[in-house]
Structures are given as structure tokens and as C-alpha cells.
């Protein structure tokens, strides 16, 4: 059964898509751009102080895709809601400044 499942999986990889399915696929350039953007965000987040990193990771689901509210992050990190909001604001300001500088250097 394992070899049959592997064979079916291999065949499924080579099934041609119709026009409807092809239009749903991202263009290669879009995929590359999204990957580069995610890598840049990850790099910039890693430059932040640990507390700000943790807040952004939980608030925006940067690791697992699950976003949390300010209250949920506060509870999880044992911080006040206001401190979470402050850390998020500072982190986003830093990211905006760093990303603007990175884009300037790229262009």
C-alpha cells in the first residue's frame, strides 16, 4: 500500500492543470517576491529586542499563522495589555524605519 500511495502521489504531481486551475497559481515572480519579502521581515524582526520580537510573533502569527489579540498576547507573555501595545508600536516603528532604509539601499 505504501508503494501504491507513493506511485499515486508521483502521478498526481504530473497531472496537467486546466485554465481555471492555472489562473489560481501564483506567478513565479510573485512567489519569489513573497519569499524575499518574508525573509526580509524575518531578518528585521530578529534585529528587535526579544520582548518586541515575541509581541510581533504572537500578534501577527509570524511563526504559526495564528494571530492573537493584545489581551491574549499580554496573558501569554505575562505582561500588561498596555505594555504589549507599547512594545508593538515601538517594534512597528523600528521595522518601518529599517525597511525604508533597506529598500533605499536596494534601489
Domains by residue range for the chain, with CATH: 26-106 (1.10.10.10)
Task: Express each pLDDT in 53-102 by its tens digit.
Answer: 999 999 999 999 999 999 999 999 999 999 999 999 999 999 988 877 66
Tell me which residue has cell 512594545.
87
6 pLDDT more than 60: no
Which alpha helices (H) appear in the chain, and where do they start and end? 2-13, 19-24, 28-46, 50-60, 70-77, 81-106
Spatial CA neighbour of 41 closest among 63, 10, 17: 63
pTM of the model: 0.65
Asked if residue 13 lies in contact with residue 6, where contact means CB atoms within 8 angstroms, the answer is no
Mean pLDDT of the chain: 81
Give me the pLDDT at residue 45, please: 92
pLDDT band with cut points at 50, 70 and 90 for residue 49: very high
Asked if residue 66 lies in contact with residue 72, where contact means CB atoms within 8 angstroms, the answer is no
Residue 75 burial (CB count, 10 A): 13
CA 39, chain centre distance (Å): 9
Amino acid at each position: 500500500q505504501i508503494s501504491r500511495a507513493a506511485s499515486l502521489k508521483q502521478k498526481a504531481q504530473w497531472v496537467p492543470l486546466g485554465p481555471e486551475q492555472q489562473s489560481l497559481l501564483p506567478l513565479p515572480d510573485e512567489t519569489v517576491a513573497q519569499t524575499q519579502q518574508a525573509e526580509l521581515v524575518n531578518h528585521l524582526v530578529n534585529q528587535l529586542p526579544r520582548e518586541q520580537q515575541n509581541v510581533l510573533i504572537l500578534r501577527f502569527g509570524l511563526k504559526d499563522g495564528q494571530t492573537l489579540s493584545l489581551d491574549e498576547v499580554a496573558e501569554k507573555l505575562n505582561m500588561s495589555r498596555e505594555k504589549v501595545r507599547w512594545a508593538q508600536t515601538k517594534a512597528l516603528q523600528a521595522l518601518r524605519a529599517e525597511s525604508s532604509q533597506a529598500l533605499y539601499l536596494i534601489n
